[in-house]
Amino acid sequence: MKIFHSPASPFVRKCMVVAHELGLADRIEKLPSAAGPVARDQTIIPSNPLGQVPTFITDDDQSIFDSRVICEYLNALGGGALFPTDGTRWQVLTQQSMADGMMGAALLARYETALRPEALRWDGWIDGQLGKVRDGLALIEKHAASLQGRLDIGVITIGCALGYLDFRFPDLNWRDGHPATAAWYEAFSQRPSMQATKP
């Protein structure tokens, strides 16, 4: 198995955390990539016309993307229970979706400051994207007690979102005003899967 990989991508990290948790990480070859929103990596496009990471290639040469599909594939392959089938399924999938949205918004804010020429940058765009992140943090804090003791795709995605904020937006100081979330993340971030995938 192979994955087009970028160590800075929170979506790639999410897939690799899942792979580590399922004991599959050593079976996945990491293919270097230079995917970007403007300069698209031409080596990815034959496997994924969007030219984005993560793009995953199975042992039978099937291409799979995006992170949600890759993680569910890995869970099925590894016989995992990261995607519940009981009454908690919709809560967990909604948490995954929200944290994915936070990561996507943070990426868009990052692109605005790191890639867009300074004269063309739009502060309102950055504020709007980081507003999504802040509102997501508020909801996570409200339900932080429900994260304790869990290992599923919801908490994995939340953990990767918080890790990306630490990596790219340290000035956001997301721990301020979110003490329960910070306490949960302090413990969750020590998992071997999270340590092995730190950007």
Fold (topology level) of 2-77: Glutaredoxin (3.40.30)
- pLDDT tens column, 9-42: 999 999 999 999 999 999 999 999 988 777 888 9
* 115 pLDDT more than 80: no
In degrees and rounded to multiples of 5, residue 56 shows phi and psi of -115, 140
Residue type, 93: L
Residues 161-195: tens digit of each pLDDT: 999 999 999 999 999 999 999 999 999 999 999 99
- The secondary element (H helix, E strand) that includes residue 169 is none
Between CA 147 and CA 150 the distance in angstroms is: 6
User: Which ranges in the chain are annotated with CATH 3.40.30.10?
Assistant: 2-77
Residue-wise pLDDT for 61-113, tens only, equals 999 999 999 999 999 999 999 999 999 999 999 999 999 999 999 999 998 88
| CATH 1.20.1050.10 segments of the chain | 89-196
Provide the pLDDT for residue 76. 98
CATH class of 89-196: mainly alpha
